[in-house]
């Protein structure tokens, strides 16, 4: 009878990679849903293309609704992918770390909102968090809060990695 091949145990960082990937992807999906639901629908501060074409005309509202729908489709696909990756990570790993997963969610959430804020609000100018008075302050607050969330996730991730290596 042959002996099974024994692989060296994975390093802590590579062992966490599937869970981190799932968390980041889910964080991206949830960040988009948060933005769309809170800012587009509930507060009605902006739509995806509100600086390109005003939503005060029927044609403008149709374009903005299409943009919002495409944005939500992306969010939904990222969420589905994140759930699939989380399911696979749960099958591969013996123990799932809540702190690693939460940290990855925060990195994905904050990182996506920073990237979206820089590209859509600042570089392309297709919409702002809230147009009108104090537009730049709203945009910078959005970027700042998103950055803090991403950095907090990174700190939690590093803390959990250091705690496990002790």
DSSP string across the chain: -PPPPPPPPPPHHHHHHHHHHHHHHHHHHHHHHHIIIIIIIIS----TTTTTS-TTSHHHHHHHHHHHHHHHHHHHHHHHHHHHHHHHHHHH-SS--HHHHHHHHHHHHHHHHHHHIIIIIIIS-S--SS-STTHHHHHHHHHHHHHHHHHHHHHHHHHHHHHHH-
Query: Where do the domains of the chain lie?
Result: 19-165
pTM of the predicted model as reported, rounded to 2 decimal places: 0.85
pLDDT given for residue 94 in this prediction: 73
Q: What is the pLDDT of residues 81-121, one digit of tens each?
A: 999 999 999 998 777 789 999 999 999 999 999 999 999 99
């Amino acid at each position: 009878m042959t002996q099974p091949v024994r692989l060296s145990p994975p390093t802590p960082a590579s062992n966490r990679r599937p869970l981190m990937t799932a968390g980041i992807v889910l964080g991206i999906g949830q960040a988009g849903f948060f933005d769309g639901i809170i800012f587009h629908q509930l507060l009605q501060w902006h739509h995806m293309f509100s600086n390109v074409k005003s939503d005060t005309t029927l044609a403008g509202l149709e374009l903005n609704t299409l943009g919002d729908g495409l944005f939500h489709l992306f969010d939904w696909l990222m969420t589905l992918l994140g759930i699939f990756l989380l399911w696979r990570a749960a099958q591969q790993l013996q123990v799932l770390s809540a702190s690693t997963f939460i940290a990855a969610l925060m990195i994905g959430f904050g990182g996506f909102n920073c990237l979206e804020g820089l590209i859509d609000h600042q570089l392309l100018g297709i919409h702002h968090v809230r147009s009108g008075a104090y537009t730049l302050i709203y945009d910078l607050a959005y970027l700042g809060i998103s950055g803090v969330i991403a950095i907090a996730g990174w700190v939690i991730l590093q803390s959990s990695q250091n705690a496990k290596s002790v």
